[in-house]
């Protein structure tokens, strides 16, 4: 499968990294005492290419799509919940809506392939505020019977993701998603791209009990067996993924190419980064992982990517809720770099060499 995805440059700059570390080390605090906030500040400065990073016009994009595999009973909720939740996002009533509003983050919902017409009954050309319709089809096919999407559909979703980011302002993209059945797609991608057994990749999703998780796992094992040759990243994405995940992959790669900070939410958002990383490993230079999800497979994704998430709150809602919750930490990290005094500027004495052996 060929598609025109961005080729990412290596943004490592030892001179900038050294300058950022020097700046952090000489703030009015014991060395390293702000812990992981300091490494976060370093990452943000490196991504944005400056010693004084500022996050501007953050964009939280919720990518929504339906999954044909839900016909196999792999979710506790009916697929209609996908479009109903999109309406909830647009009305401002969802968790991510509330958190985005609280933190001053712009929220956009993208219909990547929901089985619903959100513009029905409206005059031709009408647009709804906060909604982008980039529908590839009315949900993916049932991946236990055939590939979830065709190669052409996968390419279209990837291109849609790139185009969406090109049209957004700001220098930070926060990832969110909605789609009944998409934990199954994420579990399938995790198993196929890492070689892990599907059983360790599969969790409760929307709240399945233990017997239902076993049935879900059996269905997912069947899906993997049906697509044994879909091992390359884009082939796996087309066979196993969802329109919202594929669109997110395109968005992640475009945001990374533009050196935007990419704030990765939970399990499904990380599955998109898993695919993006398999295509362009340098994507991780631009990513901040918001939280470790309560969904079983997420820890294995983070381990495979070799990254550590900022928060661990047992979240498994998705939507971008974890990304929105982590956002103030990114703001704090930037503010520390820009505004916290140095020992020299504050006239505070630094720890002397003689003090290093004192209690």
The residues annotated as belonging to the active site are 319
Backbone angles phi, psi at 219, to 5 degrees: -65, -45
The b/e string for 264-292 (b: 16+ C-beta within 10 A; e otherwise) is bbbbbbbbbbbbbbbbbebbbbbbbbbbb
Whether the Cβ atoms of residue 266 and residue 315 lie closer than 8 Å to each other: yes
Alpha helices in the chain, H assignment, sequence order: 14-25, 36-48, 80-91, 95-103, 151-166, 182-194, 198-201, 210-226, 233-240, 243-257, 267-279, 298-305, 321-339, 343-346
Which token pair is 25? 């080390």
- Secondary structure (3-state) at 205: coil
Burial of 124 (0-12, 13-18, 19+ CB in 10 A): exposed
Element (H, E) at 173: strand 172-178
The residues pairing with 23 across neighbouring beta strands, listed in sequence order, are none
Rounded Cα distance between 23 and 138, Å, is 51
In the DSSP assignment, the letter for residue 265 is -
Query: Do residues 184 and 241 touch, judged by C-beta distance below 8 A?
Result: no
The shares of helix, strand and coil residues in the chain, as percent rounded to the nearest 5, are 50, 10, 40
As given in the structure block, the two tokens for residue 326 are 């982590």
Comparing C-alpha atoms, which of 147, 58, 149, 151 is closest to residue 112? 149
CB 140 within 8 A of CB 242: yes
Cα 268 from Cα 346, distance rounded (Å): 45
């Amino acid at each position: 499968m060929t598609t025109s995805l961005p080729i990412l440059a290596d943004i490592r700059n030892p001179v900038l990294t050294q300058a950022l570390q020097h700046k952090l080390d000489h703030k009015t605090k014991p060395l390293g005492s702000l812990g992981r906030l300091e490494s976060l500040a370093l990452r943000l400065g490196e991504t944005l290419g400056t010693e004084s990073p500022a996050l501007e016009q953050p964009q939280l994009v919720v990518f929504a799509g339906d999954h044909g595999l839900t016909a196999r009973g792999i979710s506790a909720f009916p697929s209609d919940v996908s479009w109903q939740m999109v309406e909830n996002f647009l009305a401002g009533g969802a968790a991510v809506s509330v958190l985005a509003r609280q933190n001053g983050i712009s929220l956009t919902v993208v219909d990547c392939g929901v089985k619903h017409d959100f513009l029905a009954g409206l005059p031709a050309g009408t647009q709804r505020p906060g909604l982008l319709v980039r529908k590839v089809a009315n949900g993916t096919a049932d991946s236990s019977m055939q590939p979830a999407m065709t190669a052409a559909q996968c390419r279209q979703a990837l291109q849609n993701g790139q185009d969406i980011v090109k049209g957004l302002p700001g220098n930070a993209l926060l990832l969110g998603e909605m789609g009944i059945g998409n934990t199954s797609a994420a579990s399938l991608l995790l198993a196929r791209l890492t070689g892990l057994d599907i059983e360790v990749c599969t969790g409760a999703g929307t709240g399945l009990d233990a017997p239902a998780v076993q049935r879900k796992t059996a269905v997912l094992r069947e899906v993997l067996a049906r697509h044994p040759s879909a091992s390359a990243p884009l082939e796996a994405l087309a066979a196993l993924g969802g329109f919202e995940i594929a669109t997110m992959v395109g968005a992640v790669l475009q945001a990374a190419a533009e050196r935007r900070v990419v704030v990765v939410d939970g399990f499904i958002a990380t599955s998109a980064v898993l695919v993006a990383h398999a295509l362009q490993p340098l994507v991780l230079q631009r990513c901040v992982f918001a939280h470790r999800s309560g969904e079983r497979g997420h820890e294995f994704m983070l381990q495979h990517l070799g990254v550590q998430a900022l928060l661990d709150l047992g979240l498994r809602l998705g939507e971008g809720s974890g990304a929105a919750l982590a956002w103030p930490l990114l703001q704090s990290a930037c503010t520390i770099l820009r505004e916290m005094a140095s020992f020299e500027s504050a006239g505070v004495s630094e720890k002397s060499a003689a003090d290093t052996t004192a209690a």
